């Protein structure tokens, strides 16, 4: 039986191990804001009306000056009238976000897939990944600008640095979720390591990968805007600094609103992908 | 069914020894275990939990290498997973991201073969899952999931079927139903079956022979012929012979447990 040494042994695991009940579980994404009843939708809308209406009323009633906080209606008006001027900046921010995210997420995914196959390597690298995750990449932006100038490049690098480790750490959690019985199943049919990766490990990891991609994208957005605030004359972050320095608060808050909407769109995108491809876990 | 000696040996376990190397030291799971299974025989393996039943079965499937000894399939030493050997796991072990059809075709996908749709359809209907191909595992009851996993194991027409406590998680009623199903399938398409179970009743109902494994390290401690004709009716299962056999096996297991307990205590005293 010496020929079977190539077959690794699988640590015993209870079935419960497969369904880890962590905060970062995919169910947060798929079963969170799931299908809502009409009544719930109405209630959410009512709360929104109450908050916006209440703010509008209070701000006007107490005559809070616009440079402190403009009422919602003024912000909406500014959003509409100022949008043609903001749109190109939105485009710049999106370019940085997409490029940086694509680079960071790809590297993060590949690294997660590779290091989880080699437990020793993973142990060595883990502290550095943690360092990358916890270090605010924004802190590096002045340095990046010094090296790469005032164009897209430093921002794209910053976004990649912010998104990559987030994607990686979550994807690695996913890839680590080995279900020895499922791998044994594939092996019993003679599956190769590559087949086991694509047909068992990757689908098992997908929910966590999606969580990582979502968190990475949101961190990427924050970092892109932050980097734009540091230097270079374009992007939504630049608009924030410009408008606030000119005390154009309605326009300023219009940009804040756009950023909120961007964040929600990112969340919804991954929520829908999760719903379609990873709902088996919920 | 009781002329076991006349049957050619399909699967032989020869002096199987398995040592797990763990962080807390070596663990002897199987110790020179010997077992022969005739062609188209159904053999159940019972024994206390943790005695090495799964280890034995996985070794027989070629998934685990033995530390010493060998497994012979049709007289040939087994060196790894073999297409002639089908495995049914403790839990249904379906892939939750695939519907039933895709789950059952998984083995063909891995092997790069075109699935035998006619045979799969036949099997699906045989186990009462016709028309459920588009369902996902979570939409099915535990019994249905285990049926699907049996279809998956049989889809490649293995000549040996190894089952590791396949119905342990099911309620007793569903379990009896599944036992009957296995018997029916076997009567349809005779196969060599090794069946691990906790339930002595299940073992007697299904098997030609019941093998009792000793507490760890696992060794064959006793074997019992089950000479009743098939299909085994409820009447047969209610006879005194079955009752006596059940008790004999139970005593064997309980006795071995006691002896193991004594050794544990002795060891504790010694240390
Ligand atoms: N991969 C493994 N590594 C270390 N110990 C193991 C492993 N698999 C099983 N064991 C140990 O070997 C013994 C036999 O296990 P197993 O074959 O699963 O028993 P059973 O199926 O009879 O309950 C147990 O003590 C178990 O803890
Ligand atoms: Mg077991």
Inter-chain CB pairs, A–B, below 8 Å: 82
Nearest to B151 by CA among B112, B199, B232, B94: B94
Taking 60 as the threshold, does the pLDDT of residue B267 lie above it? no
A2 touches chain B (CB under 8 A): yes
Q: At what angle do helices A152-176 and A72-115 cross, to 10 degrees?
A: 60
Taking 50 as the threshold, does the pLDDT of residue A8 lie above it? no
- pLDDT tens-digit series, residues B82-102: 999 999 998 899 999 999 999
Check if the interface score ipTM surpasses 0.95: no
- pLDDT tens-digit series, residues B229-264: 989 988 888 899 999 999 999 999 888 767 766 555
Nearest to A197 by CA among A210, A217, A178: A178
A23 touches chain B (CB under 8 A): no
CA A281 to chain centre: 20
* Beta-carbon contacts of residue A120 (< 8 Å; ≥ 6 apart): none
What pTM does this model have? 0.81
Dist. CA A141 → ligand 1 center (Å):
53
**Domain ranges across chain A:** 1-63, 70-277
Q: Give the class (CATH, top level) of A70-277.
A: mainly alpha
pLDDT band at A141 (very low <50, low <70, confident <90, very high): very high
* CA atoms in the 13 A half-sphere facing the CB of A28: 13
Q: What is the mean pLDDT of residues A171-189?
A: 92
CA-nearest residue for atom 12, ligand 1, is B29
pLDDT band at B129 (very low <50, low <70, confident <90, very high): very high
Q: Is the CB of B54 under 6 A from ligand 1?
A: yes
Residue B156 lies in a domain: no
So what's the pLDDT on residue A29? 52
Q: Do residue B97 and residue A4 have CB atoms under 8 angstroms apart? A: no
Average confidence score pLDDT of chain B = 89
Q: Is the CB of B215 under 6 A from ligand 1?
A: no
Tell me the C-alpha distance between B127 and B180, whole Å. Answer: 11
So what's the pLDDT on residue A33? 52
Tell me the C-alpha distance between A252 and A256, whole Å. Answer: 6
Q: Is the CB of B55 under 6 A from ligand 1?
A: yes
Question: Least CB-CB distance to A191: which of B58, B110, B156?
Answer: B110
Residue B179 lies in a domain: no
Query: How much of chain B, in percent, has pLDDT values that exceed 90?
Result: 72
pLDDT band at A20 (very low <50, low <70, confident <90, very high): very low
Q: Any idea what the CATH number is for the domain that residue B214 is in? A: 3.40.50.300
- pLDDT tens-digit series, residues B76-87: 999 999 999 999
CA-based nearest distance B90→chain A, Å: 9
Other Cβ atoms less than 10 A from the Cβ of A27: the count is: 18
Taking 80 as the threshold, does the pLDDT of residue A281 lie above it? no
Query: How much of chain A, in percent, has pLDDT values that exceed 90?
Result: 68
Q: Do residue B111 and residue A186 have CB atoms under 8 angstroms apart? A: no
Domain extent for B213: 1-84+200-257
Average confidence score pLDDT of chain A = 86
* Beta-carbon contacts of residue B152 (< 8 Å; ≥ 6 apart): B94, B103, B104, B106, B107
Tell me the C-alpha distance between B224 and B210, whole Å. Answer: 5
- pLDDT tens-digit series, residues A196-216: 999 999 999 999 999 999 999
- pLDDT tens-digit series, residues A218-269: 999 999 999 999 988 899 999 999 999 999 999 999 999 999 999 999 999 9
| Tokens 């063909």 found at | B108
DSSP B31: E
Which tokens in the block code for residue A195?
Answer: 């087949």
Residue B263 lies in a domain: no
So what's the pLDDT on residue B262? 58
Domain total for chain B? Answer: 1
So what's the pLDDT on residue B1? 47
So what's the pLDDT on residue B15? 94
Closest listed ligand to the CA of B168: 2
Tell me the C-alpha distance between A228 and A244, whole Å. Answer: 14
So what's the pLDDT on residue B255? 80
**Cα→Cα distances A123→A111, A168, B171, Å:** 13, 14, 43
| Tokens 């789950």 found at | B103
Out of A86-90, A120-124, A226-230, B195-199, which region has the weakest mean confidence (pLDDT)?
A: A120-124
- Mapped onto helix, strand or coil, the DSSP state of residue A199 is helix
So what's the pLDDT on residue A17? 39
CA angle in degrees (0–180, nearest 5) for A25-A30-A32: 85
Taking 80 as the threshold, does the pLDDT of residue B197 lie above it? yes
Cβ-contact B47, B218 below 8 angstroms: yes
């Amino acid at each position: 039986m010496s020929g079977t040494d190539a077959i690794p042994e699988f640590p015993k695991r209870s079935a419960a191990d497969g369904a880890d009940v962590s905060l970062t579980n995919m169910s947060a994404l798929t079963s969170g804001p799931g299908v809502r009843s009409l009544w719930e939708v109405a209630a959410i809308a009512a709360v929104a009306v109450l908050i916006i209406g209440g703010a509008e009323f209070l701000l006007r009633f107490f005559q809070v000056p616009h440079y402190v906080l403009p009422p919602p209606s003024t912000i909406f008006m500014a959003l509409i009238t100022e949008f043609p001027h903001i749109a190109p900046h939105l485009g710049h921010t999106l370019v940085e976000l997409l490029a940086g995210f694509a680079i960071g997420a790809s590297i993060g995914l590949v690294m997660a897939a590779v290091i989880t196959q080699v437990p020793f390597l993973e142990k060595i690298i883990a502290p550095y990944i943690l360092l990358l995750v916890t270090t605010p990449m924004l802190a590096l932006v002045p340095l990046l600008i010094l090296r790469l100038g005032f164009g897209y490049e430093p921002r794209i690098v910053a976004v990649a640095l912010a998104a990559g480790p987030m994607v990686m750490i979550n994807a690695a959690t996913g890839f680590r979720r080995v279900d020895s019985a499922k791998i044994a199943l594939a092996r019993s049919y003679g599956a190769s390591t590559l087949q086991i990766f694509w047909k068992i490990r990757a689908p098992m990891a997908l929910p966590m990968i999606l969580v990582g991609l979502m968190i990475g994208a949101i961190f990427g957005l924050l970092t892109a805007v932050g980097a734009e605030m540091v230097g270079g004359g374009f992007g939504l972050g630049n608009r924030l600094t410009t408008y606030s320095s000119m005390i154009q608060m309605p326009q300023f808050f219009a940009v804040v609103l756009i950023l909120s909407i961007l964040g929600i769109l990112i969340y919804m995108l991954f929520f829908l992908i999760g719903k379609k491809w990873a709902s088996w876990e919920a | 069914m009781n002329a076991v000696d006349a049957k050619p040996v399909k699967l032989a376990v020869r002096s199987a020894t398995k040592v797990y190397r763990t962080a807390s030291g070596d663990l002897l799971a199987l110790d020179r275990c010997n077992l022969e299974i005739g062609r188209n025989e159904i053999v159940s393996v019972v024994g206390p939990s943790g005695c090495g039943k799964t280890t034995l079965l996985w070794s027989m499937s070629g998934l685990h290498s033995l530390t010493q000894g060998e497994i012979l399939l049709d007289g040939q030493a087994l060196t790894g997973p073999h297409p002639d050997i089908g495995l049914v796991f403790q839990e249904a072990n379906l892939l939750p991201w695939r519907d039933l059809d895709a789950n059952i075709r998984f083995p063909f996908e891995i092997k790069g073969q075109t699935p035998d749709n006619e045979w799969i359809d036949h099997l699906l209907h045989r186990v009462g899952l016709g028309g459920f191909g588009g369902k996902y595992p979570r939409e099915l009851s535990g019994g249905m999931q285990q049926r699907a996993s049996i279809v998956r194991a049989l889809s490649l027409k293995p000549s040996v079927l190894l089952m590791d406590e396949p119905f342990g998680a099911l309620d007793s009623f569903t379990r009896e139903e599944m036992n009957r199903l296995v018997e029916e399938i076997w009567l349809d398409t005779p196969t060599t079956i090794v069946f691990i179970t906790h339930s002595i009743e299940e073992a007697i109902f299904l098997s030609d022979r019941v093998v009792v494994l000793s507490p760890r390290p696992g060794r064959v401690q006793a074997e019992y012929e089950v000479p009743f004709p098939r299909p085994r009716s409820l009447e047969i299962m209610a006879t005194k012979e079955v009752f006596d056999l059940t008790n004999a096996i139970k005593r064997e297991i309980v006795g071995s447990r006691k002896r193991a307990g004594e050794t544990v205590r002795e060891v504790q005293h010694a240390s």
